Structure 1
Amino acid sequence: MPKKSLVALAGALAAATLLAGCGGDANAGAGGPKLALDAALPTEVPDGVKIVVGDPTTEKALKLSGQLGKVDKFVQFANLSGGPQTTEAFRAKALDVGSVAEIPPIHATWTGLQVKIVASKFRQDALNHPIYELGIAPGVQVKTLPDLKGKKVAFSPGQAQGALVLKVLKKAGLTKEDVKLVELPSTGDVYSSALSAKQVDVAPIGGVQIKRYLSKYGKDGAATIRHGIRDDAGHLYVATESLEDAGKAAAIRAYVAAWGVAQDWTDKHPKEWIDGYYVKDQGLTAADGQWLVDNAGHPDISGDWSAAIERQQETIELLAQETGNDVIQAKDLYDLRFQSVAPDAIKAAGAGAAK
């Protein structure tokens, strides 16, 4: 069996295993009235409707904020997130909503899946609060982006880190032929380990891995540099067929509203979020949690997606050029009926709290 087929099969089996453990079944609660994709979103969730959501971070935020009761009647959470897992779960018809970065909706579409983005979150002052920095292996001299020429660079096709590498090369005036791309999965601390072992010279690392990498290997000459590119997109995307079920569409709308309130709550309650999520749920130290909160800045959940769509189109055109896929239209990936759902919910929650 070809290597790519084996990888796809492994991803599908992993997703299926995770969903089986969570009892996820996106067919449960289906069968509601047909809804056109340009029809107004229904606002009442019928009894018996269920949607399966892969968004474990928001699940915790809803619990900590006391908001879970608003959606738990119709939301079943699956403990999965990220592009490969959610794409395979969509393909298996075992998921309705996934939480991902910028790239998975693009690649899902290229593989024949029909998906739509229904919520988007960015970071205020995004260039000063990047998700990723370029980790530099001990002893490797990379001070600026053009210094990447001739270096071994970790690369994960189809994921945010892989797209970032391509964007960085373009910004530096380099091509893939100017570096050696080393394909590695970007999960966990794989990239940090590859850097420390000098398997690669450069790798995009994010979150607390930045802090830990520098703390552990900085004395040996390890470093990170900023790439100066926006990498802050975070989306909820859904299987289009779920939006064509009126009951599920109403449930997805309600979940997006709760999602928005949860993002706002974590921003306004950093101490509770650090203790309840980073420390008690993720097993990090309070110092690591504080570092993550400080470096993330504040969320930007806008009711106008036009700038996001423009940036997404630039990404699509770059990836299409590098991968040989057809250029698709970013605007077709977004369901604009949801554009104001999350920000309106945040405003309503704030107005209610002020009374």
Structure 2
Amino acid sequence: MPFAHPARTRSGRTARHRLAAVTAATLLPALLAACAGDASADAPSTTAATAALPTEVPAGTTLVVGDPTTQKAVEIAGDDLDSDLGFTIEWANLSGGPQTTEAFRAGALDVGAVADIPPIHAEWTGLDVKIVSAVYRQDWQENPIYEFGVAPGVDGVESLEDFAGHRIAYSPGQAQGVIVLRALQEAGLAQDDVTLVELPSNGDVYATALAAGEVDIAPIGGVQIARYLEKYEADGAHTVRHGLRDDPSHLYAPTSVIDDPAKAAALRAYVQLWAQAKLWVHDHPEEWKAGYYVADQGLSPADADYLVERAGIPDIPADWSEAIARHQETIELLAKATGNDVLDAADLWDQRFAPVEAEAVAAYREKEAG
């Protein structure tokens, strides 16, 4: 059931939109129905990609958003972010590519937050989608998202070249799987030079597999890195940094959503809120640690410190040319590994949203400065 946004304590305004929590359970009937039917979202898009994005959101418009992190940022930031967008946002408790794409097919979700791989796989499975936002890390070399964990007792693995002959945890279709492929490419190794062990990259599955000796090497991220070393470094476990970019973060949406003028206008406004929320989180580490990592996620203060210290500086580019070129390289790498057709990366990006993000960044910085 929708709940009202908290009253604005500084300006006295009340939110015109409602924030509703839509759980995965409420989406399940629609997902099952989609699996049984013929999804119209798979039809090619008729979006006029050069037409100006609509800016007027009609009364009664609702945008269903699968972006739990931004939901919490909006709640914690309060009046620091102008989340009074003039339409209803229904927050869906969904994250990750597989869940998000299936919700798109069911018509149960309008936009989702992912890395750079799910849009590629969506297209390969016949679902027409577009990337509508992008954020990276300015200091991606110093603050990678993933490191390669090496199992206790596995000696001689100090670089990517040393991966040869070892068992590596691999999750096709997810960011963890792609960083494995990139690492092999960087080291000049073929897939036949290693043994790829398919495992889902959920939670602590990879760290557990390393500790149990099921794999020799696995990409682990976030607080799992610290926890893995804390538990097993004394037994010989360690990590290897890959030196590769692993920092893409995007919003993507079915083109059928963007083809709807009301939804497109709402999506335009949400992209701006999303970009400003990324900046706010970086600029307010103490509030984020306490409100999100500790209170919401149940992490210890030490774990929260670890994550914030390694979060990096957000980079929201006004021009997506370099990002698209890197995405093309990823597509070609994945296509070779999976046997799928090579897509044109530019077709996956709706570049009309790039200046929308840039405007949001400028507005946020002006407000902070003034």
TM-score over 0.5 for the alignment? yes
Q: Per-residue deviation at 1:105? A: 0.5
Partner residue, 2:148: 134
Unaligned runs of 5+ in 1: 1-15, 26-33
Which of 255, 259, 263 is the aligned partner of 2:274? Answer: 259
Contact 1:46 1:247 in 2 (8 A): yes
Unaligned runs of 5+ in 2: 1-21, 32-45
Distance change (3 Å), C-alpha of 1:317 and 1:35: closer
Q: Per-residue deviation at 1:147? A: 1.1
Q: Per-residue deviation at 1:68? A: 6.8
**What code does the residue aligned with 2:354 have?**
Q
Partner residue, 1:80: 94
Alpha-carbon distance in structure 1 between the residues aligned to 2:191 and 2:23: 36
Question: Secondary structure at the residue paired with 1:139?
Answer: coil
Partner residue, 1:215: 230
Partner residue, 1:193: 208
Question: Secondary structure at the residue paired with 2:181?
Answer: helix
**What code does the residue aligned with 1:102 have?**
D
Alpha-carbon distance in structure 2 between the residues aligned to 1:194 and 1:87: 27
Which of 58, 69, 73 is the aligned partner of 1:57? Answer: 69
Q: Per-residue deviation at 1:69? A: 3.9
Question: Secondary structure at the residue paired with 1:120?
Answer: strand
Partner residue, 1:320: 335
RMSD: 2.0
Percent identity of equivalent pairs: 58
Question: Secondary structure at the residue paired with 1:276?
Answer: helix
Partner residue, 1:332: 347
Moved over 6 A (4+): 21-25
CA-to-partner distance for each residue in 1:149-189, whole Å, 9 max, x for gaps? 11110000011111111111111111111111110000100
Contact 1:115 1:240 in 2 (8 A): yes
Contact 1:131 1:232 in 2 (8 A): yes
Q: Does 1:100 find its partner at 2:114?
A: yes
Normalised by the length of structure 1, the TM-score is 0.90
Q: Per-residue deviation at 1:37? A: 3.5
Q: Per-residue deviation at 1:347? A: 1.4
CA-to-partner distance for each residue in 1:287-326, whole Å, 9 max, x for gaps? 1111111112111011111111010000101111111111
Partner residue, 1:10: none
Q: Per-residue deviation at 1:341? A: 1.4
Alpha-carbon distance in structure 2 between the residues aligned to 1:36 and 1:24: 29
Alpha-carbon distance in structure 2 between the residues aligned to 1:24 and 1:56: 20
Question: Secondary structure at the residue paired with 1:304?
Answer: coil
Partner residue, 1:18: 24
Q: Per-residue deviation at 1:24? A: 8.8
Alpha-carbon distance in structure 1 between the residues aligned to 2:60 and 2:30: 15
Partner residue, 1:4: none
Question: Secondary structure at the residue paired with 1:218?
Answer: helix
Which of 276, 293, 304 is the aligned partner of 2:319? Answer: 304
Give the paired residue count: 333
More helix by share: 1
Partner residue, 1:3: none
Distance change (3 Å), C-alpha of 1:221 and 1:299: same
Contact 2:273 2:360 in 1 (8 A): yes
Alpha-carbon distance in structure 2 between the residues aligned to 1:109 and 1:96: 16
Alpha-carbon distance in structure 2 between the residues aligned to 1:264 and 1:213: 30
CA-to-partner distance for each residue in 1:54-97, whole Å, 9 max, x for gaps? 00000000111113742483211100111111111111111110
Partner residue, 1:234: 249
Alpha-carbon distance in structure 2 between the residues aligned to 1:312 and 1:117: 11
Contact 2:27 2:108 in 1 (8 A): no
**What code does the residue aligned with 2:304 have?**
G
Alpha-carbon distance in structure 2 between the residues aligned to 1:24 and 1:257: 29
CA-to-partner distance for each residue in 1:257-294, whole Å, 9 max, x for gaps? 00011111001100001100000000111111111111
Question: Secondary structure at the residue paired with 1:127?
Answer: coil
CA-to-partner distance for each residue in 1:81-134, whole Å, 9 max, x for gaps? 111111111111111101001100001010000000000010012121110000
